[in-house]
Amino acid sequence: MDFEVSEDLRLMVESVRRFRERELMPLERDFLIHGKLGVETRFALERKGREQGFWALEAPPEFGGAGVSNLGLCLVDEELFKHPAMFEFGGSPEPALYLGNEDQKKRFFFPIISGEKHSCYAFTEPGGGSDFASIRTVAKKDGDHWTINGTKTFISYVEGADFVILFTTTDPRAGAHGITCFLVEKGTPGFTVARQIPTMGDDWDPHELSFVDCVVPDANRLGEVGGGFAIADLQLTHGRLKISAFQLGIAQRCLDLATEWAKQRTTWGKPIGARQAIQWMLADSEVELEAARLLVYRAAWLADSKRRIRNEAFIAKLYATEMAQRVTDRALQIFGGMGYTRELPIQSFYRQVRVWRIGHGTSEIHRWMIARNMLGLSAHGQ
């Protein structure tokens, strides 16, 4: 295994660092006070990123993208997520959209690469998110159309999205084998954005979506009838790797700030960094962050070697998200009262990281899946 970062990647990460310093850092103070960047600012930043060559980084060159490797994408995300606004570059279609046919690629995939459209995806329902196989949003076939009824909740990025990658059941008795995916455009009669759900995270208020007799043409069905579970799995595995990389940037920024503070802040005539209590917090954070980094880079490297990384993504995300929670907590403690204020990004990171022990599968489900893999049990079931 070789984690040598190529000169090209090193230069790219260096330019991402400059982008963060020039474009994102000036927004930090205001973001911390108001807890909001907003969709318009995010799109404006996407456009600035595009002008500087940061666009469609994930998409292969044959589709007009930059074809950056998984390891490269992790390094980019790690750098960007040192800013609490959690901004990501644009133009990269969700993994599910690669499975579309020619017509779907024309209508949904390429408009994302050209920047005309944005998407969001919806698995979770009010009845539960972990037990994905028991979703109740039903799609019933009627000739060359499907009629969809149901409710989705906690759906992110709805505000800027033009369409939703929607997971339904077309056979409720078939569990995971009955899940079918559709691409549903905003404005389709029967599809409404029911409400925004305020959360403890900054600028991250997901939405509830309602589908009442929403008629969608069969041409908008993504993949096979009953083939939705595999699509969701692909989408989630990819997301878990990304989320793991986010944690590295967050933890690194918090640890850097805490280390500097430990050198400067003096009590009883000595910097607090001279005290073992503080040193242990720093050392534990450094060790755990390095361990997480190796897990994330290894998973990315395996993905770049065209290996299946379902289990590695579970392991990386479980460890990295729990690591980031501990590191942000220790950093906040090292800062004392200042860590709790909106004058520093630590409290924002501390609140934000909490969601990643829940979204894209909770820590409990991750542990369950890792154990099932060890025990040789099937991927879904009881």
Contacting residues toward ligand FAD, per CB under 6 A: 120-124, 128-130, 154-156, 199, 201, 204, 206, 355, 358-359, 362, 364-365, 368
Comparing every residue's Cβ against ligand FAD, the nearest one is: 129
Least distance to ligand FAD from the beta carbon of 318, Å?
A: 12
Q: And the tokens for 190?
A: 């029967």
Q: And the tokens for 331?
A: 């950093």
134: β partners:
none
DSSP character for 21? I
Question: Nearer to ligand FAD by C-beta: 122 or 332?
Answer: 122
Residue 142's CB: how many other CB atoms inside 10 A?
A: 9
Q: And the tokens for 89?
A: 């570059």
Helix or strand (DSSP H, E) at 72 = helix 70-80
Strands 179-185 and 163-169: antiparallel
Question: Nearer to ligand FAD by C-beta: 156 or 259?
Answer: 156
Question: Nearer to ligand FAD by C-beta: 123 or 261?
Answer: 123
Alpha-carbon span 324 to 353, nearest angstrom: 7
Which amino acid would we find at residue 300? A
Q: How far is CA 153 from CA 51, 57, 135, 205, 372, in A?
A: 35, 29, 12, 11, 28
Question: Nearer to ligand FAD by C-beta: 81 or 154?
Answer: 154
Cα-trace Rg, the chain: 21
Residue 204's CB: how many other CB atoms inside 10 A?
A: 18
165: β partners:
121, 183
Least distance to ligand FAD from the beta carbon of 123, Å?
A: 4
Least distance to ligand FAD from the beta carbon of 355, Å?
A: 5
Instruction: Decide: helix, strand or coil at residue 161.
Output: coil
Question: Nearer to ligand FAD by C-beta: 157 or 340?
Answer: 157
Question: Nearer to ligand FAD by C-beta: 169 or 285?
Answer: 169
Question: Nearer to ligand FAD by C-beta: 53 or 172?
Answer: 172
Least distance to ligand FAD from the beta carbon of 236, Å?
A: 9
Least distance to ligand FAD from the beta carbon of 152, Å?
A: 7
Least distance to ligand FAD from the beta carbon of 353, Å?
A: 12
Question: Nearer to ligand FAD by C-beta: 236 or 255?
Answer: 236
CA–chain centroid gap for 299, Å, is 16
Least distance to ligand FAD from the beta carbon of 85, Å?
A: 15
Least distance to ligand FAD from the beta carbon of 367, Å?
A: 8
Question: Nearer to ligand FAD by C-beta: 149 or 156?
Answer: 156
Least distance to ligand FAD from the beta carbon of 369, Å?
A: 10
Instruction: Decide: helix, strand or coil at residue 302.
Output: helix
Buried/exposed code over 215-243 (b: 16+ C-beta within 10 A; e: otherwise): ebeeebbbbebbbbbbbbbbbbbbbbbbb
Taking alpha carbons only, the member of 59, 80, 63 closest to residue 12 is: 80
